[in-house]
Structure 1
Amino acid sequence: MDIVTSQGPAEVTLDGVDDPAFLLVLTHGSNGGVGAPDLLAVRETALGLGGAVARVMQPFRLAGRRAPGAAARQDEAWLEIIGVVRGRFGDVPLVQGGRSNGARVACRTAAEAGAAGVVALAFPLRPPRSPEKTRVEELRSAGVEVLVVNGDRDPFGVPDAADAAHVAVLAGERHDLSRDPAAAGRAAEPWLRRWAARPVRAGGPE
């Protein structure tokens, strides 16, 4: 599925049931793609819970660039993509997320996108060469509850428990979360399960 945004075309891969319990939209890091092992693990977990999953290749990566460019422009394109994808699934809870730079985008845009929650994989808390700089405000200002899944050996650091609704720290993992990608899916399972069961509508089946 191709979507034209103000920053160029994006590519969306859709998976899941026709009448999902929730919609999970995931995206990549600044130098990766939607086939990252941890993204696929979370995708499998969401599908197993009856969700639909959209994996987004953002315009800058589709154009072959590694640098995402200005945050405001990246966020603008992301919100345009979210608007189109949500239109295909109706009024179901939206959970958005991604890994590394994609996790930052998901946090920054969560409130405006109307997301119910965020899954932040390998959130890059601070640049390794500039440890005095922190991106913690992106977590704190998301406006919704955020699940952070980071490795304990991540050179970008690990957010504190107070910085998000829940922080899962995976032993032995670095920034790519590739040692045991399935662990990322297991960490996300209880988080996503809250949206797996729909409330019974008035006049509907008991």
Structure 2
Amino acid sequence: MTAPIRATVREIDTPGGPARAHVHRPARPHGTVVLGHGAGGGLGAIDLAIAREVLVGAGWAVVVVEQPWLVAGRRVAGRPPTLDLAWVPVVEALLTGRGRLPRPLVVGGRSAGARVACRTAGALEADAALLLSFPLHPPGRPDRLRADELALAPDPSWVLQGSSDAFGTPDEVRPYLPPGATLIEVPGAHSFPGSSRAALTEALTAVAGMLPA
């Protein structure tokens, strides 16, 4: 019989107000994957949902972090520094104290959440990163690159990028991949449609088999 998955929600104080950690934990996790949502706040985005399903099924504890601005009911994300200041204490709280989740630690998320994960990976001593729809530049503004943030991703990292992503196609992202990063092209745009489900599942299953357990 398969061991049950414990699903809990933890409220964690941060300098920006309380955040919520949606924790899905198998009985003996290999390690922990912490994922952040995008600037639209969609916790149920298809790529986040499939990542949670696949990685929990592969034996990892998976946490989706709800940033304080979303918990507070605001409709607009805060500035990048405020997102980072909230993210770091949440991840630290998950890894310490009673009921702590185990390392190795994989950080990541979709879009803005992927940017936060890259910027804070060093401070958190993350072992790997899973970046979904990394926004290399704003739509129509390829001159405003965020390649410096992508360069902070740990080795190894995996970048799942939509084939027609207006924030950076796979061909645009590829020249800026840091050492140890693998780019996986998935059919779809920045927000993956339902038709990308099979491709996302296949890609994330492959990633699950390569994570540093």
Normalised to the residue count of structure 2, the TM-score between the two structures is: 0.85
- Distance in structure 1 (CA, Å) of the matches to 2:90 and 2:102: 16
From 168, 173, 176, give the equivalent of 2:191: 176
Q: Deviations over 1:119-156 (max 9, x none)?
A: 11011111114221011111112243221111111111
Q: Is the 8 A contact 1:24 1:97 kept in 2?
A: yes
Mapping for residues 84-123 of structure 1, pairs under 5 Å:
84-87=93-96, 88-123=99-134
Q: Distance in 2 between matches of 1:113 and 1:155?
A: 30
Instruction: Tell me the equivalent position of 1:191.
Output: 207
Extract unaligned runs of 5+ from structure 1.
199-206
Native 8 Å contact 1:22 1:195 kept in 2: no
> Equivalent residue for 1:133?
144
For residues 101 and 58 of structure 1, the distance between their equivalents in structure 2, rounded to whole angstroms, comes to 11
Q: Scaled by the length of structure 1, what TM-score is found?
A: 0.88
Aligned 8 A contact 1:3 1:81 in 2: yes
Residue pairs, 1:5-16, within 5 angstroms: 5-16=14-25
Amino acid at match of 1:186: E
Residue 72, structure 1, aligned to residue 87, structure 2: no
The one of 128, 144, 148 equivalent to 2:159 is: 148
Q: What is the distance in 1 between the residues matched to 2:59 and 2:124?
A: 22
What SS does structure 1 have at the residue aligned with 2:59?
A: coil
One-letter amino acid matched to 2:192:
L
The whole-number CA distance in structure 2 between the counterparts of 1:54 and 1:6 is 20
1-side partners of 2:22 and 2:196: how far apart?
Answer: 24
Q: Is the 8 A contact 2:129 2:154 kept in 1?
A: no
Deviation for aligned residue 1:86: 1.3
Partner of 2:4: none
Partner SS for 2:70: helix
Could you list the structure 1 runs, at least 4 aligned residues long, displaced by more than 3 angstroms after superposition.
88-91
Aligned with 1:163 (options 177, 180, 191): 177
Contact 1:150 1:177 in 2 (8 A): no
TM superposition shift of 1:104 = 0.5
Give the fraction of aligned pairs with identical amino acids, expressed as a percent.
Answer: 36
Give the paired residue count.
Answer: 196
Residues 48-59 of structure 1 aligned to structure 2 (within 5 Å): 48-59=57-68
**Structure 2: distance between partners of 1:182 and 1:114:** 32
CA distance in 1, matches of 2:19, 2:130: 21
Of stretches 156-165 and 116-125 in structure 1, the one that deviates more from structure 2 is 156-165
Displacement of 1:63: 1.7
Distance 1:128 1:89 in 2: 39
Partners of 1:108 and 1:124 lie apart in 2 by: 13
Alignment pair present for 1:33 and 2:42 = yes
C-alpha distance in structure 1 between counterparts of 2:60 and 2:24, whole Å? 9
Query: 5+ residue gaps in structure 2?
Result: 1-9
The letter for the 1-side match of 2:201 is: G
